[in-house]
């Protein structure tokens, strides 16, 4: 191979190497930008889900407290029935758990 052909090949190799390095840098930058966008989107959605879960938890807590209050009121108004229901429920549970 002549000196000129060798230099041309070396130049093409270096040019290709530079082009590949530039393409890799651009790909890295694009991937980093995409990752940043994805992270922001996921953070935003996580916040929305957290807010929704807090609202549901709050509503559920209020409802549970209301049911507890209703149960306590029923027991105060009907103590004998409440004791009878509790005894019957305990008896049935005892039969089920014994088996």
Chain centroid to CA 6: 59
Check if the beta carbon of residue 74 is closer than 8 Å to that of residue 82. yes
Residues 6 or more apart in contact with residue 74 via CB below 8 angstroms:
82
Task: Give the start-to-end residue ranges of the domains of the chain.
Answer: 3-98
Q: What is the pTM of this model?
A: 0.52
- Could you read off the pLDDT of 24-64 as tens digits, one per residue? 899 999 999 999 999 999 999 999 999 999 999 999 999 99
- Name the token pair of 11: 């130049």
> What does pLDDT average to over the chain?
91
Give the closest residue to 57 by CA, choosing from 65, 67, 47, 68. 65
Its sign, for the CA torsion 89, 91, 95, 97, is positive
Q: Grade residue 1 by pLDDT with cuts at 50, 70 and 90.
A: low
């Amino acid at each position: 191979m002549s000196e000129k052909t060798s230099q041309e090949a070396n130049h093409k190799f270096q040019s290709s190497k530079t082009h590949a390095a530039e393409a890799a840098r651009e790909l890295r930058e694009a991937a980093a930008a995409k990752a940043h966008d994805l992270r922001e989107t996921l953070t935003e959605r996580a916040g929305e889900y957290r807010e929704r879960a807090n609202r549901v938890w709050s509503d559920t807590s209020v409802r549970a407290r209301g049911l507890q209050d209703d149960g306590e009121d029923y027991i105060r108004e009907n103590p004998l029935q409440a004791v009878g229901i509790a005894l019957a429920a305990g008896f049935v549970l005892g039969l089920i758990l014994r088996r």
